[in-house]
């Protein structure tokens, strides 16, 4: 493969491991667990993998010369920086168990497992991908592992390759599927183990045992560099407001972290909007107020960060979207009727089919945005928020509000605006030192869990603000993170998403500073990710983790 000079140098970087995984670690079992909610329902659905204990690895010696193990690995869902290092960690971990162990990568995500498309990942292949971004070593996909025929089909190739286990690298939905697969195989006494690894740049797969999902650190550093560049441009030209939508469908972790890194004038936090029951008009008035005040001070420019999933947290919009999800659910009579309508008739037809309150909201927003709300649902039955131009919706409404204020003599400047959406720009960046180390450790820990015969666990690494050799590696039962949620009109077990904690230290610090950042120009320009240099530049973790663990 063709590689850059940076990649040649980056290949030489040896990720750090916690002391407990160096050599052969000793497994220690902790307390038995229960799901975060809906315990009776989750226990009934997962009788073989519910209530298992937390496990961790400590320095120690266990039996050497262990039998070789064959492991299959799958990359599932959207890309996140560090996936290749997870696979490298699995590879090195199973070779540490026994040099004759083998690793197989299923191509194109879960579909490769079902269709029996795979390659053996050898040292020669692995070495080309260490410390690189992307998922291109084996590719990824969004096929859902939900049906028994899929599980049985996967078991066929597992037996052919003499696999002892599968490691599924993915986000909350992918790891939910991994847990369902683990339960099915445990119920059949197939001997197949299934281990998950927590991936998502959104940062919403986290709890006390999963302190961070991998890729979040790198992605927010990439976005923050871009935001810093735009802030500097804004401060140079002094004539534009930049409305920047940031990836993160269900939580504002990316926006909050980027705000802590760059100190923009406006940052919307979806969870706060929901808690305060703010309307769309409330949000627009808040933004217009800051823009007008800065203009009064002579600063007709600035930067606003907008979370991708904001519209689902505005109560009136959330109610509208929930009704649209039910109305347009795949396979329903109303969905078929809707698709047979002329596009020009769809908004009116939908308005007649939903509640009067939601119809009023639907008809009040620009028709372009209303049409985006009615696009095909994603595989989970939810609106595709990444396709909704929330930044333009707010920009248009803020512009109209400022015109009203101008007519009343409350705003005297011109409102120039530029729009941006940062999403794909951060998903395949070369991992930061933190993510390179963290991902490698996640993979190594996954191999250790496999060696110990565990299934239905997610690889876990904690104490992440300490130096890497002090990290605590282990595993958490995936059922511990589950609750019941409505998907495609039915209640299903899923991993509970972690939203921004409005009582947490990161948000409280942001809240204490945002007034100062709003009316002054206290921009920080963080610059690009640094790979080489002092540890306090290259190895630092996120502002979020630092504040959470102070």
Q: Cα(400)–Cα(420) distance, rounded to whole angstroms?
A: 20
Q: Assess whether 202 carries a catalytic annotation.
A: yes
CA distance 386 to 91: 34
Among the listed residues 19, 114, 32, 128, the one whose alpha carbon sits nearest the alpha carbon of residue 74 = 114
Answer for the pair 76, 174: CB distance below 8 angstroms, yes or no.
Answer: yes
DSSP letter for each residue of 335-395:
HHHHHHS-HHHHHHHHHHHS-HHHHHHHHHS-HHHHHHHTSPP-TTS---GGGS-HHHHHH
- Residue 196 CA to residue 495 CA, distance in Å, equals 12
CA angle (492, 189, 168) in 5-degree steps: 55
CA distances from 280 to 102, 206, 294, 472, 492 (A): 54, 29, 22, 44, 31
**Residues making up the chain, counted from first to last:** 550
Closest C-alpha among 134, 135, 137, 131 to residue 14: 131
Residue 116 in contact with residue 104, Cβ under 8 Å? Answer: no
Region of residue 380 (phi > 0: left; psi between -120 and 50: alpha; otherwise: beta): alpha
**Given the residues 202, 204, 217, 435, the one annotated as active site:** 202
Q: Helices 315-327 and 343-353 meet at what angle, rounded to 10?
A: 110
Alpha helices of 375-504 — where are they, by DSSP H? 390-407, 424-427, 433-451
What's the Cα-to-Cα distance from 194 to each of 147, 167, 349, 446, 476, rounded to whole Å? 16, 6, 46, 10, 13
Q: Nearest 5°: phi and psi at 32? A: -70, 155
Q: Report the distance separating Cα 32 and Cα 52, nearest Å.
A: 5
Q: How far is it, in rounded angstroms, from Cα 477 to Cα 494? A: 13
Catalytic residues: 202
């Amino acid at each position: 493969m063709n590689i850059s000079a940076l990649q040649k140098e980056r290949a030489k970087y040896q990720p750090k491991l916690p002391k407990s995984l160096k050599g052969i670690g000793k497994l220690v079992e902790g307390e038995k667990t229960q799901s975060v909610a809906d315990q009776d329902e989750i226990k009934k659905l997962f009788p073989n993998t519910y209530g298992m204990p937390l496990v961790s690895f400590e320095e120690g010696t266990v039996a050497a010369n262990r039998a070789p193990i064959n492991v299959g690995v799958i990359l599932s869902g959207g890309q996140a920086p560090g996936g290749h290092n997870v696979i490298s960690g699995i590879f090195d971990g199973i070779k540490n168990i026994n040099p004759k162990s083998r690793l197989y990568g299923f191509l194109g995500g879960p579909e490769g497992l079902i269709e029996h498309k795979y390659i053996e990942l050898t040292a020669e292949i692995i070495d080309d991908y260490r410390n690189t971004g992307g998922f291109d070593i084996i590719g990824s996909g969004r096929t859902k592992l939900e049906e028994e025929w899929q599980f049985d089909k996967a078991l066929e190739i597992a037996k052919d390759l003499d696999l002892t286990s599968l490691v599924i690298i993915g986000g909350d939905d992918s790891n939910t599927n991994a847990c369902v697969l683990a339960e099915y195989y445990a119920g059949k006494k197939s001997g197949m183990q299934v281990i998950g690894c927590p991936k998502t740049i959104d940062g919403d797969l986290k709890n006390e045992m999963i302190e961070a999902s991998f890729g979040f650190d790198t992605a927010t550093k990439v976005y923050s560099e871009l935001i810093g560049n735009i802030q500097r441009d804004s401060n140079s030209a002094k004539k534009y407001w930049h409305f920047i939508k940031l990836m993160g469908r269900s939580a504002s972790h990316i926006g909050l972290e980027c705000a802590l890194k760059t100190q923009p004038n406006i940052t919307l936090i979806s969870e706060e909007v929901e808690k305060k029951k703010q309307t769309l008009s409330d949000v627009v008035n808040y933004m217009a107020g800051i823009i007008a005040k800065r203009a009064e001070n002579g600063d007709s420019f600035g930067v606003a960060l907008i979370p991708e999933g904001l519209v689902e947290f505005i109560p009136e919009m959330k109610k509208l979207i929930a009704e649209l999800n039910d109305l347009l659910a795949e396979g329903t009579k109303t969905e078929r009727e809707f698709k047979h309508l002329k596009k020009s008739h769809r908004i009116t037809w939908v308005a007649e089919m939903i509640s009067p309150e939601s119809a009023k909201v639907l008809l009040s927003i620009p028709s372009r945005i209303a049409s985006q709300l009615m696009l095909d649902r994603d595989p989970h039955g939810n609106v595709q928020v990444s396709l909704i131009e929330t930044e333009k919706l707010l920009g248009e409404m803020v512009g109209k509000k400022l015109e009203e204020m101008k007519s009343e003599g409350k705003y005297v400047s011109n409102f120039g605006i530029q729009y941006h959406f940062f999403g794909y720009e951060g998903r395949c960046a070369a991992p930061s030192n933190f993510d390179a180390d963290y991902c490698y450790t996640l993979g190594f820990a996954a191999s250790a869990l496999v060696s110990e015969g565990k299934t239905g666990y997610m690889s876990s690494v904690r104490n992440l603000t300490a130096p890497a050799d002090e990290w605590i590696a282990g595993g958490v039962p995936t059922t511990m993170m589950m609750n019941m949620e409505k998907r495609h009109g039915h209640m299903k077990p899923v991993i509970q998403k972690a939203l921004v904690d409005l009582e947490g230290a990161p948000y409280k610090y942001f809240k204490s500073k945002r007034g100062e950042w709003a009316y002054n120009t206290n921009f920080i320009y963080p610059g690009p990710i640094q790979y080489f240099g002092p540890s306090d530049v290259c190895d630092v973790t996120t502002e979020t983790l630092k504040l959470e663990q102070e």
